Amino acid sequence: MAVIIIAVGAVFADHQNKVVSDQAVRADVLAKVNLIRAKLEGNINGNLQLVQGLVATVVTEPYMGQQRFASLASNLFGRGSQLKNIAGAPDLVISLMYPMDGNEKAIGLDYRNDERQRVAALRARDERELVLAGPVDLRQGGQGFVGRIPVFVRSAGNTERFWGIISAVVDVQRLYEASGLLDDGLGIDIALIGKDALGPGGEQFFGNERVAKSNPVTADVLLPSGSWRIAAIPKNGWPSTPDNAWFLRAIMAVAGALVVIPFLVTGRLIGERQRNYAELSRLSRRLELALEASAIGVWEHDLGTNELTWDDRVNEIYGKPTGERRGYLDWAGAIHPDDLAGAHADFDSAMAGGGPYLSEYRIIRPDGEIRHVRSKAIIYRVANDTPKMIGAEWDVTADVLLNKDLVRAKQLSESKNAELESAKARIEHIALHDSLTGLPNRRYLDQVLEDYAANARRAGGYAALLHIDLDRFKHINDTLGHAAGDAMLVHASTVLRSKVDGEGFVARIGGDEFIVLCVVHDDIEQLALLADRVISQMREPVYYQGHRCRFGVSVGIAVDNGKDVEAKHLLVNADIALYRAKSRGRNRYEFFTEAMQSEIVDTKRIADEILGGLERNEFIPFYQPQFDAKTLEIVGVEALARWRHPEKGILAPDVFLRIAEELNVVSIIDRNILEQSLLDLEGWSAANLHIPRVSVNVSARRLQDEELIKSLRKLNIKKGTVAFELVESIFLDENDDFVTWNLEQIKDLGIDVEIDDFGTGYASIVSLLKLQPRRLKIDR
């Protein structure tokens, strides 16, 4: 029975030893995995967080160019970043890139046509959130993890539209190195699963495939748009048996023998004695093993004689040879001078209070190595003997160093967090301010406009908005360069700041446009005075590199009356007033009125109807006969454009021509009238109605059309049957070489050129000889 019990106990102990060993190994692997997981998450999220600031800037500047984009993106490539490049893809086509060197091949890439990247790009657009893909093979070479951030911007009418995608490429190798995956001393094999952040269901993209099949320790790496599964096993696989298995089995076998053999040989009494002895030996051995495994040494101090007794492990800790007698001076002499006073104080305190004793100090070994030691003891007394102190001492150097490393890691993390907060603040400032003038930008204006209007009402007044546009700015920019234009913008911002009191708000919303927000009370005339001061100051010449630059401003003014107009509509109303000021000669200001709004609505309605009328072929020719003055015979007809409006009937050009010119569709109307006139001419000929020729009007834009001659050739116009009428005041003194070439080609096609309304312009004899018109129509 004793044999069976010992055998069962040995099997159970061996099994428990293996379970404990396996748990310890897996716990060690899990600790390393968690460290790598934290680094991966920190590096990925840190890189993408930097790019979010750039996205905020793109929202406010959707039409930024490469230079502006590169200037902003370069600030994100600093120490600790694994970013390889950042690309901007308006309408899903890459046109912005930083850095450009080495990435030229990516310019022009259309995500919709790239099989490898289309799914992730469209997913980012459709889900309106960041999508992390990869690793992917990059067109410009190498591999990277690509974070694609969809960008939506505000368009007219306060609606959102999809601008495109900002793609940040994180270098694969640099990310792996920074996260510790390539550390030779890692001690574990790692696999990463979940390509394109698809989690455990995705493909494995790092490490050996055997890792995932070997019962690995796993953890999830949380990403902005999904996760990866990290799996790990020890370098040489999981140990089949614990390191101390055979040693433990040998001990159990010896113990069993000590119990069983005496029991069989000497009988019950001797066996009982042997069992007691074996138990004592086992307990002693366990204590010895426990002390050895924990590297704890035991010492005894005779307080009467000051004699110390150290076991082998204490001697090993202090670097002393074994078998020698020790005294108090041996202990005190080994303590670091800076810690000696504290160790003495702890000892004296224990003696005064009768124990217990607890102290931690540094010792200097004979070889010069410094170790951190912790000691704990109690005082006991034996009858007729001096009091003694017995205690344990162990080396805590590794724990102290680990604690210092943790403190340094915490300080480093706090430092990085402070840097991130500082970078975030800088990015927010950049996103809300114009880099050239330092004024708030359109995004900042949108944020403060509603609150500004509400605060103005609470103060007993109204919010007023002045929309200011620089006149002749483009001329200065084109003739003296962008640097001169920038100087004019800075001057304009300085003038506006000086003319607006401390309670006003000045912003640059793009190009040469500025906004001034201020509070007015009952006297609206103060706005007119302010506009006059701004216009007057802006007229003053500005000197730039020896050039005397002059420009003016047009001002549109809108006031929030607190009843009918929402604050967000102030910009729209001021823009309408600005348009009116420009149309009335510039260098002036206009207040927004309801009449302006009605005019804009009517113009918009007519413009929509014109575009619809072109689609439905509502613009038709009306013919005016031309007679020979002597014979009174019909020598031709003039095609006059009319609009066959579905509701208002036939409309003359004075109703639609001005708006059609603004829409840039006059050329389309001219072309439609010409084509219909040719069809009618053929129809009259088939009906035996002889009309020799037809005259049609041609606009200035039509003469500047590069496709004009090609389209005329397709019509197969018979020579002498068509004439183009040109208005003298527009074309006769035109010095455009391309227009002149078009007119020559028109004559070569057999199309006559006539001058309409002759006498209203200032045509010279030279220009008439150069044009050589077929006919002149004298103005009444």
Structure-block tokens of residue 104: 């030229």
- pLDDT tens per residue across span 347-404: 888 887 777 888 888 988 888 888 898 888 888 877 667 788 888 888 888 888 888 8
Cα(725)–Cα(692) distance, rounded to whole angstroms? Answer: 16
Cα(756)–Cα(771) distance, rounded to whole angstroms? Answer: 13
Residue 319 has pLDDT above 70, yes or no: yes
Contact 652, 661 (CB under 8 A): no
Residue 763 has pLDDT above 60, yes or no: no
Torsion 257-261-264-268 (CA) sign: negative
Rounded to 5 degrees, φ, ψ at 394 are: -145, 155
Averaged pLDDT, 622-634:
89
Cα(32)–Cα(217) distance, rounded to whole angstroms? Answer: 10
Distances (CA, A) of 679 to 121, 470, 626, 672: 50, 49, 19, 11
Cα(45)–Cα(52) distance, rounded to whole angstroms? Answer: 10
Contact 471, 589 (CB under 8 A): no
Between 470 and 772, residue with greater pLDDT: 470
Per-residue pLDDT, 266 = 64
- pLDDT tens per residue across span 717-739: 888 889 888 875 555 545 567 77
Give the lowest-confidence range in 115-119, 136-140, 286-290, 593-597. Answer: 286-290
Cα(190)–Cα(211) distance, rounded to whole angstroms? Answer: 7
Distances (CA, A) of 663 to 411, 572, 667: 63, 20, 10
- For the question of residue 512 being annotated catalytic, the response is yes
Between 596 and 110, residue with greater pLDDT: 110
The residues pairing with 370 across neighbouring beta strands, listed in sequence order, are: 364
Averaged pLDDT, 431-441:
91
- pLDDT tens per residue across span 222-246: 888 889 999 999 988 888 777 666 7
Comparing C-alpha atoms, which of 716, 597, 436, 510 is closest to residue 64?
Answer: 510
Cα(596)–Cα(578) distance, rounded to whole angstroms? Answer: 11
For the chain, how long is the longest CA-to-CA vector?
A: 162
Cβ of 300: how many Cβ atoms within 10 Å?
15
Per-residue pLDDT, 564 = 47
**What confidence tier does 639 reach under pLDDT thresholds 50, 70, 90?**
very high
Which domains does the chain show, CATH number per domain?
A: 6-234 (3.30.450.350), 295-395 (3.30.450.20), 442-592 (3.30.70.270), 602-778 (3.20.20.450)
Within 172-311, strands assigned E span 188-193, 204-206, 217-223, 226-234, 296-302, 307-310
Residue 247 has pLDDT above 60, yes or no: yes
Rounded to 5 degrees, φ, ψ at 361 are: -155, 170
Q: Judging by DSSP bridges, how do beta strands 752-758 and 722-727 pair with one another?
A: parallel
What is the number of helices (H) and of strands (E) in the chain?
23, 29
Query: b vs e for 234-265, b when ≥16 Cβ sit within 10 Å of the residue's Cβ?
Result: beeeeeeebeeeeebbebbeebbebbbebbee
Contact 588, 535 (CB under 8 A): yes
Structure-block tokens of residue 56: 């905020």
Q: What is the mean pLDDT of the chain?
A: 84
Cα(17)–Cα(247) distance, rounded to whole angstroms? Answer: 11
Q: Is 46 helix (H, G, I), strand (E, B) or coil?
A: helix
- pLDDT tens per residue across span 545-595: 889 999 999 999 998 776 544 667 888 889 989 988 887 878 899 998 888
Percent of the residues in the chain that have a pLDDT greater than 90, as a whole number: 21
Give the lowest-confidence range in 116-125, 239-248, 271-280. Answer: 239-248
User: Catalytic one among 171, 469, 471, 512?
Assistant: 512
Cα(324)–Cα(373) distance, rounded to whole angstroms? Answer: 21
